[in-house]
Amino acid sequence: MSRATEIRLSGSGGQGLILAGIILANAAVHEKRRVTQTQSYGPESRGGYSRADVLISDREIFFPEATQFDILLALTQEACDKYIFDLREKGTLIVDTTSVKNISVMSEHVFEVPFTEIVSEKLGSPITTNICSLAFLVKCTGIVKEESLAQAIRESVKPAFVDLNLKAMQLGFELAENYRK
């Protein structure tokens, strides 16, 4: 059985991770792939824990939650500590070093970027860190096409915020391109 690609986006409430998950799932739908998106969060709207799972496959997906991740995005130290042990051996880990200072298990593909800092500096506010880091994830892993992501962002974000989020996306792409240099 060919399995689904399992992606977990994690951090704290208010960081927009569920929206990022919906956008990624939408991008996969545009590519006519099977997809499930689930989430788990605490009762708080801000703070607390928050995660969004996206499973992408070409076959029917039965169990909708990520159990062994191919890709893990962690925006906070707590999320990184909590979920890193369920990352597959050859999986991809992307962390926001603004918050994540320690990575307890090193894997082959680790990307360390101070997303929150960079987004705050370049775009004036950390609000679009979710989109920037998602774009980085997309560029590094190729899980969906860049134009699918752009289309999904245009459809999922309120019209007034589309430009800002597309800028954040572009920033994420650039960060990924220049990462190894």
Partner 1 sequence: MASKTTKKAKPVETIKEEPIEIRRQMRLMQGNEAVAIGALDAGVNFFAGYPITPSTEIAEILAYELPKRGGVFIQMEDEIASISAITGASLAGAKSLTATSGPGFSLMQEGIGYAKITETPCVVVNVQRVGPSTGMPTSPAQGDIMQSKWGSHGDSPAIVLYPDSVKESYELTIRAVNLAEKYRTCVILLMDEVIGHMREAVALPDVANIRIISRIKPTIPPNWYKHYDENQKYLSPLASFGDGYRFNVTGLTHDQLGFPTNKKVEAHDMMERLRKKISYNIRDLVQIESRDMEDAKIAIFAAGITARSAKSAVAAARAEGIPVGLLRPLTIWPFPDDAVRKMLRNVDIVIVPELNQGQLIQELKRLTKDKADGDLIPIQRADGALITPLDILRVIREVH
Q: How many residues bind partner 1 (CB under 8 A)?
A: 24
Instruction: Pick one of 13, 34, 82, 161: the residue that binds partner 1 (CB under 8 A).
Output: 34
Give least dist CB 25 to partner 1, A: 5
Q: How many helices and strands in the chain, by DSSP H and E?
A: 6, 6
Instruction: Pick one of 35, 123, 137, 168: the residue that binds partner 1 (CB under 8 A).
Output: 35
What b/e sequence results for 152-175 when a residue is b if at least 16 CB atoms lie within 10 Å of its CB, and e otherwise?
A: bbeebbeeeeeebbbbbbebbbbb
14-33 residues in contact with partner 1 (CB under 8 A) are 22, 25-26, 28-29, 32-33
Give least dist CB 61 to partner 1, A: 8
Give least dist CB 105 to partner 1, A: 20
The DSSP line for 34-45 is: EEEEEEEE-S-S
Distance CA 114, CA 168 (A): 14
What b/e sequence results for 31-61 when a residue is b if at least 16 CB atoms lie within 10 Å of its CB, and e otherwise?
A: eebebbbbeeeeeeeeeebbbbbbbbbeeeb
3-state secondary structure of 111: strand
Binding letters toward partner 1, positions 54-93, x by CB under 8 A: -------xxxxx-x--------------------------
Give least dist CB 165 to partner 1, A: 17
Find tokens 């799972």 and name the residue: 53
Instruction: Pick one of 38, 77, 120, 151: the residue that binds partner 1 (CB under 8 A).
Output: 38
Instruction: Based on the shown chain and the rule CB under 8 A, indicate whether residue 47 belongs to the binding site for partner 1.
Output: no
Instruction: Based on the shown chain and the rule CB under 8 A, indicate whether residue 158 belongs to the binding site for partner 1.
Output: no
What does the binding site for partner 1 look like in residue numbers (CB under 8 A)? 1, 22, 25-26, 28-29, 32-43, 61-65, 67
